[in-house]
Amino acid sequence: MSDDPVGAFVPGPRARRPGRPGGPLSGLTFAAKDLFDVEGVPTGGGNHDWAAGRPVPERHAWAVQALLDAGADLVGKTITDEVSLGILGENAFDGTPVNTAAPDRVPGGSSSGSAAAVAAGLCDIALGTDTGGSMRVPASFCGLYGIRPTHGRIDVTGMLAQAPSSDTCGWFARDARTFARAGAVLLGEPPGALPTSLIVAVDAFGFADPAVAEALKPMVARLGRIVGAVREEIMAPQGLSVWARAQRMLQPVEAWQTFQPWIERDNPRLAFSVAAGLIAGAQVSPAERNWAALMREEARARLRYLLPAGTILCLPTTPFPAPLRGLPLPAQQPLRDRITCLCAQGGLTGSPQVSLPGAKVDGAPVGLSIIGGRGTDSSLIAVAEAMEAAA
């Protein structure tokens, strides 16, 4: 039997590195999305023309080094959507990892292989990235714990950049205890205090498929019992689709700035959808971009207002469970757009968000997300542990 039955790892020899003996993560294994540098291994970036002409990394990415130093063993690098541009997890070069929780459906992306590897039990922890939803979406679709940390909280040295003002480094785990152990290492602090107030984002629940909102109800109830005070609020008074519109201008403009030198020099092969996204970024007008930057300020102000210390907000991570694999592009686009409506707040505001597993629709997982004020990552992890304990 293959040691990669779900096609989660980058094809070819596995990048394996032992952890330092005696650390707090000793006995655990981890994988790293192929956007993270591993010393001596070309960073593939999910595109066969990315590594060409780039030096082989001479040191590990910060997060890889941190997990190794804490004793976890690296067992491989995982498939990613091309240079992190994708949200469904279908890669035309390396293949689509199998979502063991729903094998006929996509794993979600762009941290597709990391999520698939953890879901299949091939490792305990996996590093991923999240710019516009790349941790949260696969966590939701594969039924995992996954975090998009506060922007700037975790060092992204050695991580392939996409849109630096939104890029973050996160991780997946199957259980809250392991999730929290990795968090203690990567955040540098143990789980924090539990919040005391919960906001239910009624606009986001209303935007999700009714079956998703219904399936998440027991989790919301449990969360309310853990936190205490519960109230309903609109998260995005300007509109979820307006926040998404702003994010869909800011992020592609930055992505184009990031990748333009590579594209103009190497004219690389890209899946059509990836090229189309980059061109969309190149075509955003300065006036549109300026408006989007103002809306980002409004979104940040809104979450600062809603989320004082001790308050968290919950919403469906994704508006639906994982779509089927292999959908034609015209069927994918409206799905991507709807996902962005529930994910835009992360890239816009930089707030931390954890996706919690526990609900299913039509047999496929869907996650409940909790968001806190900037810097409250460890409190969200404490909530994850409490939710699992109360399940």
User: Binding residues for its own copies, per CB under 8 A?
Assistant: 49, 90, 92-93, 263-265, 267-273, 275-276, 278-279, 328-330
Q: Which of 111, 134, 355, 369 is catalytic?
A: 134
Instruction: Tell me 83's DSSP state.
Output: G
Q: Which of 84, 110, 112, 355 is catalytic?
A: 110
Is 134 among the catalytic positions? Answer: yes
Tokens of 202: 């009624």
Residue with smaller CB distance to its own copies, 46 or 352: 46
Alpha-carbon distance of 94 to 80, in angstroms, equals: 8
Residue 239 C-beta: closest distance to its own copies, Å: 27
Q: One-letter amino acid identity for 66?
A: A
Tokens of 76: 């491989």
Residue with smaller CB distance to its own copies, 221 or 279: 279
Residue with smaller CB distance to its own copies, 92 or 154: 92
- For residue 383, the number of C-alpha atoms closer than 13 Å in the C-beta half-sphere is 38
Residue with smaller CB distance to its own copies, 66 or 92: 92
Residue with tokens 């991923």: 128
Residue 269 C-beta: closest distance to its own copies, Å: 5
Taking each helix axis from N to C terminus, what angle separates 240-266 and 329-349, rounded to the nearest 10 degrees? 100
Residue with smaller CB distance to its own copies, 49 or 175: 49
Residue 25 C-beta: closest distance to its own copies, Å: 38
Is 110 among the catalytic positions? Answer: yes
Closest CA to 107 of 36, 224, 214, 8: 8
Where is 170: in which H helix or E strand?
strand 168-173
Cβ pair 269, 49 in contact under 8 A: yes
Residue with smaller CB distance to its own copies, 263 or 293: 263
Sequential DSSP letters for 97-141? ---TTSTTB---SSSHHHHHHHHTTS-SEEEEEESSSTTHHHHHH
Residue with smaller CB distance to its own copies, 279 or 324: 279
Instruction: Tell me 308's DSSP state.
Output: -
Burial of 302 per CB tally in 10 Å (0-12, 13-18, 19+): buried
Q: Which long-range contacts (CB under 8 A, 24 or more apart) does 294-301 make?
A: 295/238, 295/242, 295/243, 295/245, 295/246, 295/348, 296/246, 296/247, 296/250, 296/348, 296/349, 298/238, 299/236, 299/238, 299/243, 299/246, 299/344, 299/345, 299/348, 299/349, 300/348, 300/349, 300/350
Residue 275 C-beta: closest distance to its own copies, Å: 3
Is 81 in a helix, a strand, or coil? coil
Residue 80 C-beta: closest distance to its own copies, Å: 16
Instruction: Tell me 190's DSSP state.
Output: -
Residue 332 C-beta: closest distance to its own copies, Å: 8
Residue 336 C-beta: closest distance to its own copies, Å: 12
Residue 259 C-beta: closest distance to its own copies, Å: 9
Residue with tokens 């070069």: 93
Q: How far is CA 171 from the centre of its chain?
A: 8
Please list the active-site residues: 33, 110, 134
